[in-house]
Amino acid sequence: MNIKQRQKTEFIVKVAMLGAISTILMLIEFPLPFIAPPFYKLDFSEVPVLIGTFAIGPLAGVLIELVKVLLNLVINGTITAGVGELANFVVGCSFIIPAGLIYKHKKTKLNALLGLIAGTVTMAAVSLPINAFVMVPAYIVLAGFSSEMIIGMATKIFPFADSVLKLALFCAVPFNLIKGVVVSVITFVLYKPITPLLKKISFKK
């Protein structure tokens, strides 16, 4: 096995492994009833994605995110004809790509922190149009939820969130900010201890 073949194999193995771990973590989820309706659930599946992004690069992060979404689609199926999964992929990429690009420019703790902050803010911003014009409409049109039912869930938390756009603004955006902060803290703590384990995955022959 030459150097290029070895590097390609190592890349594929790491992406697949981190994608599988992310899929498992995606199955462990819980709602944040004080901020968003119960169909918004927090999970830690972005942690392995971010670790892979920092350790291998932004392209690897995007591929790990894709593996995670596709595996979850196979395991759990879809009630939105794949629209929800596509939106999940876009929102996830909006988190990891800014973080990965900033860290790749100069691999320091400060840049890792700045990248995580930028990724969190970007994800929250992207979640507004994605939820208002893609996710929530997909649940209404494809999953059989009525708009009154979904908006009713939001108004129980925030009485002024009486439209799909307001639901996205006052529920989805804060939810993603909280998710970004939690995932960022965990990633920041775990990255250094876990990176040496990734480096041990090698094919020398």
State pLDDT tens for residues 156-168: 999 999 999 999 9
| pLDDT 10s digits, 122-137 | 999 999 999 999 999 9
Q: Which helix (H) or strand (E) holds 41?
A: strand 41-42
Has residue 204 been placed in a domain?
no
The pLDDT of residue 198: 82
Residue 117 lies in domain: 3-29+40-194
Mean pLDDT for 24-41 is: 93
Question: Is pTM beyond 0.85 here?
Answer: yes
Q: Is residue 104 part of a domain?
A: yes
Place 1 in a pLDDT band, splitting at 50, 70 and 90. Answer: low
Per residue in 98-114, pLDDT (tens digit) is 999 999 999 999 999 99
Average pLDDT of span 182-202: 88
Instruction: Report the domain count for the chain.
Output: 1
Other Cβ atoms less than 10 A from the Cβ of 154: the count is 24
203 in a structural domain: no
Question: 7: domain CATH number?
Answer: 1.10.1760.20
Is residue 202 one of the residues assigned to a domain?
Answer: no
Residues 25 and 80: their CA atoms lie apart, in Å, by: 21
Residues 40-97 have pLDDT tens digits of 999 999 999 999 999 999 999 999 999 999 999 999 898 888 898 999 999 999 999 9
Question: CA nearest 187: which of 45, 14, 50?
Answer: 50
Other beta carbons within 10 Å of 118: 17
Whether residue 117 is contained in a domain is answered as: yes
| Nearest-10 crossing angle of helices 173-199, 46-56 | 50
Cβ atoms of 92 and 127 closer than 8 Å: no
